[in-house]
Chain A
């Protein structure tokens, strides 16, 4: 009968539309300023009340960590640095002790390309203070040489339980290349404790995931170091970390030169030849340190350091705009920019 068949059309349409519809799990999002950047948290499958409770707890946690681990303002790390400079040791809390121990192990694995003991050099360049006057010039070569000559190294530290001391008073810890990674790992622990199973914590260029956003992987966009827009995208699974270090985060220009904040501990000057390094790894602390270490290692030598640090998924954009990658990274990265940059695969 014609009427029944006419009715079938909208019913069919409705069925088709409903079939295509997937109910996404409830998403709670919040963002907060911490560690000098905007930290985004995305929580799946929580009620707004739970979300607010989690936000409040994380905000508190981040602020406490920021204060404890910022060496340039009064706090636990500043106190430690003062003690080390005065030639005696002091006791720190378990978290700071853990962070220092991890820093020492990662520095060793990276051949000291990642070297958190160079606080004096960082201070010399002026990259440490968030809002003070920019240096009007590059530091005097003699000052840089002098800082280098003191050879502050993580191996100079003695760690005895919670007691930290140094046989080299020039060791001044700046854990900036590690702190966000640890903060992110600890945030995820807190989320698990609070019963959250699926979440993403993104501190600017440093993120880690927990669970999944529904029945699909996480979709992460990687920004182009030199132009607006997305350079590449990545599908990321539960528990993976994606960390990027770039020469565009903090820099100043002077007399035609451009000086960024990732110093090469061997030369005392900003590491050259690289625009950004992106690492995918499980553990956020390793990913954070490796992003810096490989940046310093440079466009030729980075694969050896990646091997030594046991990171297998690396993308390095060099000063020529070429994307150098490990095979494991090449398998999962998708370039969004057309045309894609020149690609160089470097097996480890």
Chain B
């Protein structure tokens, strides 16, 4: 094989490897979360930094925790705590809706595997 043939072969092999990685890996975990108050998106937070933050909503403060690339609502005003019970949100599209306080946390990610989640 000539040197050029070798170069082409190596490049082709690398391309196949790259395509394999691109096409066959699991759907992306979210890289950031969006936080909504009263129906408007107010901020985005990266999931790469562990932290806890409070968000002022309609009836009080919702406490949001980010750890290990996931986010959850730790506490929120209101008797039902439905959004707290959602637990850890990890994949693009996962969301927790705190109705009384009108606070929503949602995982954002580009090119999610699914057009929509049904639950």
Contact = CB atoms under 8 A, between A and B. Distances in A.
Interface of A: 2, 5-6, 8-9, 12-13, 16-17, 20, 31-33, 36-38, 40, 42, 130-134, 200, 202, 204-207, 213, 218-223, 228-230, 233-234, 242-244, 246, 249-250, 252, 278
Contacts of A37: 97
Contacts of A218: 115-116
Interface in B58-107: 59, 78-80, 82, 87-91, 93-95, 97, 99-100, 102, 104, 106
A205 B119 contact: yes
Nearest to A12: B8
B15 to A, nearest CB: 6
Given A133-B79, A228-B90, 17 more contacts: A9-B8, A9-B11, A12-B11, A33-B102, A38-B104, A42-B115, A131-B100, A213-B115, A219-B115, A220-B115, A222-B117, A222-B119, A228-B87, A229-B91, A230-B117, A244-B119, A250-B80
Contacts of B39: 32-33
Given A33-B104, A131-B78, A230-B91, A220 B4 contact: no
Nearest to A243: B118
A130 B100 contact: yes
Contact of A220 (B89, B100, B102, B116): B116
Nearest to A5: B4
B4 A38 contact: no
Contacts, number: 110
Contacts of A40: 116
B17 to A, nearest CB: 13
B19 A223 contact: no
Nearest to A225: B119
A2 B117 CA distance: 54
A247 to B, nearest CB: 12
Contacts of A205: 118-119
Given A12-B8, A37-B97, A246 B115 contact: no
A200 B118 contact: no
B88 A38 contact: no
A32 to B, nearest CB: 6
B115 A38 contact: no
The 6 A-B pairs of least Cβ separation, nearest first, read A223-B119, A221-B114, A131-B100, A202-B116, A5-B4, A134-B79
9 contacts: A16-B15, A37-B97, A38-B104, A42-B115, A132-B79, A205-B119, A219-B114, A228-B94, A230-B91
Given A38-B97, A131-B99, A133-B79, A242 B91 contact: no
A243 B118 CA distance: 7
Given A36-B99, A207-B116, A221-B118, A13 B4 contact: no
Nearest to B96: A38
B91 to A, nearest CB: 7
B36 to A, nearest CB: 8
B93 A221 contact: yes
Contacts of A16: 12, 15
B113 interface: yes
B118 A130 contact: no
A223 B117 contact: yes
A281 to B, nearest CB: 13
Given A2-B4, A218-B116, A252-B80, A38 B99 contact: no
A94 to B, nearest CB: 28
B7 interface: yes
Given A20-B19, A33-B104, A250-B80, A130 B99 contact: yes
Given A221-B118, A228-B88, A250 B82 contact: yes
Contacts of B117: 202, 220-223, 230
B100 A221 contact: no
A16 B16 CA distance: 10
Contact of A134 (B2, B3, B80, B106): B80
Given A32-B39, A38-B106, A233 B4 contact: no
Contacts of A36: 97, 99
Chain B CB within 10 A, most for which of A40, A206, A218, A243: A40
A5 B5 CA distance: 8
A341 B117 CA distance: 19
A141 B77 CA distance: 31
